[in-house]
Amino acid sequence: MSQFLDKLKANLDGKNVRVVFPEGVDLRILTAAIELNRTSYVHPIVLGNENEIIELAEKESLDIENLEIINPVDCKDKEELVDAFVERRNGKVTKEQAEEILNDVNYFGTMLVYTNKADGLVSGAMHSTPNTVRPALQIIKTKPGVSRTSGIFFMLREDELYVMGDCAINPVLNAEELAEVAVETARTAQSFHVDPVVALLSFSTHGSAKTEETERVRTAAQYAKDKLPEVPIDGEFQFDAAFVPSVAEKKAPDSEIKGNANVFIFPTLEAGNIGYKIAQRLGGFEAYGPILQGLNQPVNDLSRGCTTDEVFNLALFTATQALAIKAENE
The model's pLDDT over 288-323, given as tens digits with 9 standing for 90+, comes to 888 999 999 999 988 888 899 999 999 999 999 999
Checking if the pLDDT of 75 tops 70, the result is yes
Residue 305 is predicted with a pLDDT of 83
pLDDT for residue 1 is more than 80: no
What is the percent of the chain where pLDDT is above 90? Answer: 85
The pLDDT score that the predictor gives to residue 206 is: 94
Q: What is the pLDDT of residue 185?
A: 97
User: Predicted confidence band at 12 (pLDDT cuts at 50, 70, 90)?
Assistant: very high
pLDDT at 129: 82
Residue-wise pLDDT for 52-67, tens only, equals 999 999 999 999 999 9
Same domain, 152 and 254: yes
Same domain for 120 and 237?
Answer: no
On whether both 65 and 123 belong to a single domain, the answer is: yes
Residues 164 and 233 in one domain: yes
CATH of the domain at 173: 3.40.50.10750
My answer on whether omega of the bond before 63 falls inside 30° of 0, hence cis, is no
Task: Supply the pLDDT for residue 156.
Answer: 93
93-119: average pLDDT: 95
CATH, residue 313: 3.40.50.10950
In this prediction, residue 219 has a pLDDT band, given cuts at 50, 70 and 90, of very high
Greater pLDDT, 330 or 195 = 195
Q: What is the pTM of this model?
A: 0.90
145-182 pLDDT, tens per residue? 899 999 999 999 988 999 999 999 999 999 999 999 99
Report, as an integer, the average pLDDT of 33-56: 95
Which amino acid appears at position 178 of this protein?
L
The total number of structural domains that make up the chain: 2
Clarify whether residues 308 and 190 are in a common domain.
Answer: no
Q: pLDDT at position 328, please?
A: 83
Q: In what order do the strands lie in the sheet with 120-123?
A: 68-70, 42-47, 17-21, 120-123, 299-301
Which domain does 277 fall in, by range?
145-294
Same domain, 290 and 304: no
Same domain, 187 and 248: yes
The model's confidence at residue 3, banded by pLDDT at 50, 70 and 90, is confident
Regarding whether 265 and 299 lie in a shared domain, the answer is no
Q: Is the pLDDT of residue 125 over 90?
A: no
The residues near 123 (Cβ < 8 Å, ≥ 6 apart) are 21, 22, 23, 105, 106, 109, 131, 132, 299, 300, 301, 302
User: Any alpha helices (H) in 156-211, and if so which ranges?
Assistant: 175-191
> How high is the pLDDT of residue 329?
78
Q: Looking at the structure, tell me whether residues 187 and 302 fall in a common domain.
A: no
Indicate whether 157 and 129 sit together in one domain. no
Give the pLDDT confidence of 236-278 residue by residue, as tens digits. Answer: 999 999 999 999 999 999 999 999 999 999 999 999 999 999 9
Are 262 and 163 within 8 A, CB to CB? yes
One domain, residues 164 and 276: yes
- Residue 95 pLDDT > 70: yes
Mean pLDDT of the chain: 94
Give the pLDDT mean for 83-88: 94
Same domain for 92 and 113, yes or no, is: yes
CA distance 4 to 277: 20
